[in-house]
Structure 1
């Protein structure tokens, strides 16, 4: 049976395990889902250079998955998204793109919780390319690297603070968690802020499963079947 392949482009198995737990409720729809860690990736993707350097090994890892029905790139920033879409006719979904598209259905203005200030310009370039800057309320950084997110109490406290500032100061009415390493905090963040919260891996896997079920992808059917 074919599987949806979720690729974590960093080398942290702990992050991959968190992604796997977050998307587990979506396995009830029947399509097998496999979460993979890119061994060649950095421990955390925190800037544009690190993101770009993961693309070539990520493309190879994706090509090696002979049972793939589709792919999710599980890094906020979607490194290699368009390259992988060029490589395969199967559905390919990036978690950043999917999170924003999902947030736009849940509120008028979305706020993003980033890990570091250095991540924000990368986010803004993507939002500009998507044409959604007028719907962006704000993008606030925790000041924590990917590895530091493992400190759950510290991370949750910082996320709640950032979420409330996005709500009260920036006018966000829906929040996006801007890193796959935040996957386990959605329930608590929703409870503390009173806002809908988009966990990007859940958003992307949901979208990919729909595309697989409906036999949709970024290429027309005649190109896929050629």
Structure 2
């Protein structure tokens, strides 16, 4: 019997981000377990950094999910969770958004959480989502790196800036856990957690972990 597959979709067209996702998710692959496949949405912008960017990938994501008959679950690997609800409408298989899963995982690790955003203009979009989820009273704060998606994925100077912002969230805002607010930050999770001394959640790892449990229990 073939292994069930979890499809992780990077909604931006930056292949380097997809490669970073593959690297971050490698520890979740195990013998006999679901196959984890990362793919890039070719129609997506190079980085999802505005509401317009997020809205532009909604229907391409839905078409991708609708045309896929072989995946047991889907993960939308962008911290804006673009297209999450229209994709859930398009299939009876589970669809996970990394922002939702990342925040829920942080709440399981600490009373309060902080978010590292890519840019100041991302924060308003994230706050609107957290208000919809009813979680504002658990949020310590959100602070930006003021970098692009491509810059965070390239890695040069990113970790040092993430440590600086993470320390402010911990020491000044009182965050008990940190959520990395972009799929492109995935490669820095472990080093950031070691530097800060509190849980650091990579939202894609959190979402795929939830998908793994769901798929495994459905097939055993």
TM-score, normalised with respect to structure 1 = 0.93
Q: Deviations over 1:48-82 (max 9, x none)?
A: 11001001111112222221101000000100101
Q: Match for residue 21 of structure 1?
A: 23
- Please give the alpha-carbon distance, in whole angstroms, between the structure 2 residues aligned to 1:214 and 1:77: 28
Unaligned runs of 5+ in 2: none
169, 173, 186: which one aligns with 1:170: 173
Calculate the aligned-residue CA RMSD, in Å: 1.2
6, 9, 13: which one aligns with 2:8: 6
How many residues were matched structurally? 216
What does 1:191-202 align with in structure 2 at a 5 Å threshold? 191-202=194-205
Q: SS of the residue aligned with 1:153? A: coil
Q: Match for residue 140 of structure 2?
A: 137
Q: Match for residue 124 of structure 1?
A: 127
Q: Which stretch shows the higher mean deviation, 193-202 or 151-160?
A: 151-160
What does 1:1-226 align with in structure 2 at a 5 Å threshold? 1=2, 2-28=4-30, 30-215=33-218
- Please give the alpha-carbon distance, in whole angstroms, between the structure 2 residues aligned to 1:149 and 1:174: 20
Deviation at 1:148, TM superposition (A): 1.2
Deviation at 1:191, TM superposition (A): 1.0
Deviation at 1:27, TM superposition (A): 1.0
Deviation at 1:209, TM superposition (A): 1.2
Deviation at 1:215, TM superposition (A): 3.0
- Please give the alpha-carbon distance, in whole angstroms, between the structure 2 residues aligned to 1:18 and 1:195: 23
Deviation at 1:13, TM superposition (A): 0.6
- Please give the alpha-carbon distance, in whole angstroms, between the structure 2 residues aligned to 1:106 and 1:69: 28
Deviation at 1:151, TM superposition (A): 3.9
Q: Indicate conservation of the 8 Å contact 2:97/2:207, yes or no.
A: yes
Q: Which runs of 4+ in 1 moved over 6 A?
A: none
Q: SS of the residue aligned with 1:215? A: helix
Q: Match for residue 223 of structure 1?
A: none
Q: SS of the residue aligned with 2:46? A: coil
Q: Match for residue 220 of structure 1?
A: none
Q: Indicate conservation of the 8 Å contact 2:112/2:140, yes or no.
A: yes
Q: Indicate conservation of the 8 Å contact 2:29/2:36, yes or no.
A: yes
